[in-house]
Amino acid sequence: MTDGLLRGIAPAVLDAFADTEGQRILGGGYVGLEKEALRVSAAGSVATTSHPVALGSALTHPWITTDFSEALLELVTPAMDSSLDVLALLEDLHRFVYRQIDDERLWATSMPCVLHGGAHIPLAAYGTSNAARMKTVYRRGLGNRYGRVMQTIAGVHFNYSVDDAIWPRLAARPGADDPGEAQALRSARYMGMVRNLQRLGWLVPYLFGASPAVCRSFVQDAATDLQVFDHRTLYYPHATSLRMGDIGYQNRQEEGTGMKACYDSLDAYIKSLTWAIQTPCPQYEAIGVKVNGRYEQLNDHVLQIENEYYSTVRPKQLTDWMERPTLALRRRGVRYVELRSLDVNAYHPLGIDAEQMGFLRLLMLYSLLTDSPRIVARERRAIDANQVLAAHRGREPGLRLQAGDSTPTLRDWALGVLDAMQPLAALLDAGGDCGYARSLCAQRAKVLEPALTPSARMLAEMRERGEGFAEFARRLTEQHRERFLAAAPTPEREAWLTDLTATSLDRQRAIEAADDVDFDEFLRRYFAQSEQHPVELRAPI
């Protein structure tokens, strides 16, 4: 792979799943979504109200929580085997939320608008417990390190895991049943998926990017080279996803810190993040940790905790109470992969649709089944450069990307990847999961005709209607709000969500009552945990 281009799935791999059971296995697995949405006033300004009590506890509710800001809602679905079931639950979550937020709205786009500086963006609050305080201090640290304005950007995270029956068919020794060997194989394959998703990461903003323009109020740098769309809107003419470009959260940890996660193996990934969490950084030492009695960040290290490292894709494992994510990965391996580079689809009330989910599932499975060598330094630089090029200039005619010794056009490379995915799509459709080839065809149309991409549609619509970004986003926000308020969740779903609200508040109170150490000691014990020694903090529930 000296030219940096993926060669497709080896015929022998596809042959291993050509039978009826193999097709069923390939089409199995689980998907889940995490969808962020900024609560705003009717005028479009960031809401300054607290997370509504009627939505339950943001600390303990399994499906309704907050991200950086008290105003940045995060709606989460469990892992399900059906994308349609995931979307149905996400719809009910939106309907339920809209009935609890009075006259506020859920902003329809990734990029916020009508901002009045970071001081007006409230940090998320989770109660009085040590665990809650840690979450808020972490967010205060993010604000101090990178600014609060950037943290109001919303996105969609797509979580995917394959059917575990896939591993024996991919094993070098079919039939191997040693649990340790099975876990190692699963983690190695998932890390290969992660590397390939990075190699092809530029494809996601091109196909699904929906942030080609931003409000002037978002841009803090007066020297920006963004062009003027109108008196309140800045943009790049061929941009796809400014969220994934230089003005977003992408790779900000690397400025002056030397931090770069290594994806050669799960062990290398864990070691690189562990180093960052344990290593002081002069850039952040200047902020201070505990200043005048208040924590300004959890520590002054390169990363406060693992989640601070922003990446387009992450290997994940579920965590126990206060267990560090890297230790969960070390102990139990990779359970699923989280794709984080998706803009909120402004044209769909849920921010994502079934066709898009079908393609993402296909892309991730393709990345798993294709050979995935380690990423060397030169390719790492190319991956980062391609990501920004696609975000800022993705629809530019003749745009060339970097792929080892070659510089293919984005168009040619994308068509080559989509062609290579066709045999897999056909195999999945033959197994009964119809729609993969159709989704692939829809993405091919966007490559052949860039005007079909969401980013191009947004700019064209803004021009035709004489709208700036704020007016465009507010109009779609109102349309989505009307849809969600037009019908409530089913009585059974409504009762279930209402019960979850009450249960989450009870759990928050139990956590607060269970604290038996002060916050300083809580943090010391949290960061003292190791692979051999679990966290010495009593689980309250």
Give the pLDDT confidence score for residue 117 in this predicted structure. Answer: 82
Alpha helices in 370-409 (DSSP H): 377-393
**Given pLDDT bands bounded at 50, 70 and 90, which one contains residue 431?**
confident
Q: Tell which residue, 499, 478, 497, has the closest CA to residue 489.
A: 497
Within a domain: 91: yes
Domain-located, residue 533:
no
> What DSSP designation does 404 have?
T
529 pLDDT higher than 70: yes
With contact defined as beta carbons under 8 Å apart, do 243 and 210 qualify?
Answer: no
Query: What's residue 248's pLDDT?
Result: 63
In a domain, 535, yes or no: no
What's residue 178's pLDDT?
Answer: 67
- pLDDT grade for 3, boundaries at 50, 70 and 90: low
* 540 C-beta neighbours (distance < 10 Å), count: 17
Residue 537 forms part of a structural domain = no
In a domain, 141, yes or no: yes
d(CA 139, CA 70): 11
pLDDT of 193 > 90? The answer is yes
The DSSP H or E segment spanning 189 is: helix 179-199
Closest CA to 314 of 142, 178, 193, 141: 193
Of the chain, the end-to-end C-alpha distance in Å amounts to 50
Of all helices (H) and strands (E), which one includes residue 307?
Answer: none
Give me the number of domains the chain comprises. 1
Give the E-state strand segments of 270-363 in sequence order.
290-291, 294-295, 313-316, 336-342
Taking each helix axis from N to C end, the angle separating 266-278 and 179-199, rounded to the nearest 10 degrees, works out to 80
Summarised one tens digit per residue, pLDDT across range 462-479 is: 999 999 999 999 999 999
Q: Is it the case that residue 221 has pLDDT exceeding 80?
A: no
pLDDT at 249 over 70: no
Band (pLDDT 50/70/90 cuts) for residue 260 is: confident
Asked if pLDDT for residue 173 goes beyond 60, the answer is: no
The arithmetic mean of pLDDT across residues 320-347, rounded, is: 97
Give the per-residue pLDDT at 4.
60
pLDDT digits (tens, 9 = 90+) for 395-415: 999 999 999 999 999 999 999
What pLDDT was estimated at residue 181?
Answer: 81
Q: What is the pLDDT of residues 475-489, one digit of tens each?
A: 999 999 999 999 999
Does the pLDDT value for residue 250 go beyond 60? no
CA-to-CA distance for 507 and 487, rounded, in angstroms?
A: 30
For the cut 90, the answer to whether the pLDDT of residue 46 exceeds it is: yes
For residue 172, the model assigns a pLDDT of 55
Angle (CA) 352-354-359 rounded to 5° is 95
Query: To 5 degrees, how large is the angle CA 453–CA 354–CA 103?
Result: 85
What is the dihedral sign for C-alpha 165, 429, 8, 267? Answer: negative
What pLDDT is stored for residue 220 in this prediction?
Answer: 74
The pLDDT tens digits of the residues spanning 341-370 come to 999 999 999 999 999 999 999 999 999 999
* Predicted pLDDT of residue 1: 44
Give how far Cα 333 sits from Cα of 47, 186, 188, 506, 538, Å.
39, 8, 9, 32, 24
301 occurs within a structural domain: yes
Question: What would the pLDDT profile of 98-143 be if each residue is shown by its tens digit?
Answer: 999 999 999 999 999 878 888 889 999 999 999 999 999 999 999 9
Q: Which two tokens stand for residue 268?
A: 């290398």
Cross-strand bridge partners of residue 409? 400
Mean pLDDT across the stretch 181-187? 89
> Could you identify the residue written with the tokens 């699923």?
336
Question: From residue 273, how far is each of 266, 327, 383, 503, 532 by CA, in Å?
Answer: 11, 11, 19, 34, 18
∠277-283-285 over CA atoms, to 5°? 70
**Cβ-proximal residues to 526 (8 Å cutoff; 6+ apart), any chain:** 134, 322, 324, 535, 537
Domain that holds residue 159: 11-528
76, 32 Cβ separation under 8 angstroms: yes
Q: What is the pLDDT of residue 331?
A: 95
- Residue 541 domain flag: no
Whether residue 94 has pLDDT greater than 70: yes
Mean pLDDT of the chain: 93
Continuous segment of H or E residues that includes residue 163: none
Is 539 domain-assigned? no
Q: How far is CA 343 from CA 335, 366, 465, in A?
A: 24, 21, 23
Could you tell me the strand order of the sheet in which 233-235 lies? Answer: 213-215, 233-235, 227-230
| CB 193, CB 364: distance < 8 Å | yes
CATH code assigned at 102:
3.30.590.20
Greater pLDDT, 508 or 538: 508
Residue 34, classed as helix, strand or coil, is strand
Task: Report, in angstroms and rounded to the nearest whole number, the Rg of the chain calculated over CA atoms.
Answer: 23
